[in-house]
Structure 1
């Protein structure tokens, strides 16, 4: 179905979801890095925050997807080369896959190792009823770490693309996702 949206900027709701999730992902990456360098009880406490923020990112992502399905996105700038259009679409699809798969995979891994998820001391999310399997849980945690690393590299690519379109192509790329600036 062709995009019939003639607005060149994303909706305010999409902007709020985008920047909230973006900040949460970067903060969660830094929390995970801090946890890897911590020892003992400190490590567990830091990872507890990483897990809780991951579940919050999952909820925000589901909200963003619902928003996206009910609010048309602006078309890509007409001056993009075909390969840039394809790359932009592929990276966005991978973002959504990772934003859902990483928290779900971690929840499954926690469940397989018999752990609940403490949501910042407000409530806990119990393990899924899938039985205990420490080896599989460990493998999923490892895959989660690899997926997180891939995600960070893709975020870097996304940022570089936005900067390229804004400052070299001068098509206002980054301002499509900001409420100010010239698109």
Structure 2
């Protein structure tokens, strides 16, 4: 991509982070939903994958945030100031949630005396907190509510991208894809 063209789009690295994290978040939401409706034997295995993917999302999000802080993002042009404020707010909330939810899940597990196995590659030990099943349950409840908020934000984010692409015709989605037209 030429310099003027790429200035309207996110970098390829940012695009990869975006789409991998997006798919991982949706898969992790579906894992949590599946675990809630599974038998006890299946539930533990499904939640094990949910926890491992959550830690993976945390690591990817931290890497993405580091990338974003060290690489310029394309300017958000041709949108109303309220849309710019909403977009920035949603992005900040995404980062807070994508870091806070896995940390909260790890903390809740720690209150039950458990670490988090990450796909058999490594295990995060339980955090140094004493056993407190009530605190663990309360954090898991907040974690579930936070997960619902993230899914609503994903929906809002998708609707915003579609609005900008198809109604405003300013190339909204194509800023995060290596193809398609982003108008000048």
TM range (shorter): over 0.9
Query: Is 1:126 aligned to residue 125 of structure 2?
Result: yes
Partner-residue secondary structure (3-state), 1:90: helix
Show structure 1 runs of 5+ residues with no match.
1-5
Query: What is the aligned length?
Result: 177
**CA displacement at 1:123 relative to structure 2:** 2.7
| Equivalent residue, structure 1, for 2:73 | 73
Q: TM-score, normalised by structure 2?
A: 0.94
Between the aligned partners of 2:39 and 2:140, the Cα distance in structure 1 is: 18
**CA displacement at 1:121 relative to structure 2:** 2.4
Between the aligned partners of 1:119 and 1:52, the Cα distance in structure 2 is: 4
CA RMSD of aligned residues (A): 0.9
| Equivalent residue, structure 1, for 2:177 | 178
**CA displacement at 1:130 relative to structure 2:** 1.4
| Equivalent residue, structure 2, for 1:100 | 99
Partner-residue secondary structure (3-state), 2:79: coil
Between the aligned partners of 2:42 and 2:119, the Cα distance in structure 1 is: 15
The farther-off stretch of 115-124 and 81-90 is: 115-124
| Equivalent residue, structure 1, for 2:16 | 16
Show structure 2 runs of 5+ residues with no match.
1-5
**CA displacement at 1:122 relative to structure 2:** 2.6
| Equivalent residue, structure 2, for 1:59 | 59
Where do 4+ consecutive residues of structure 1 move more than 2 Å? Answer: none
Between the aligned partners of 1:64 and 1:130, the Cα distance in structure 2 is: 29
Between the aligned partners of 1:39 and 1:127, the Cα distance in structure 2 is: 26
| Equivalent residue, structure 1, for 2:3 | none
**CA displacement at 1:118 relative to structure 2:** 1.5
**CA displacement at 1:8 relative to structure 2:** 0.9
Q: TM-score, normalised by structure 1?
A: 0.95
| Equivalent residue, structure 2, for 1:158 | 157
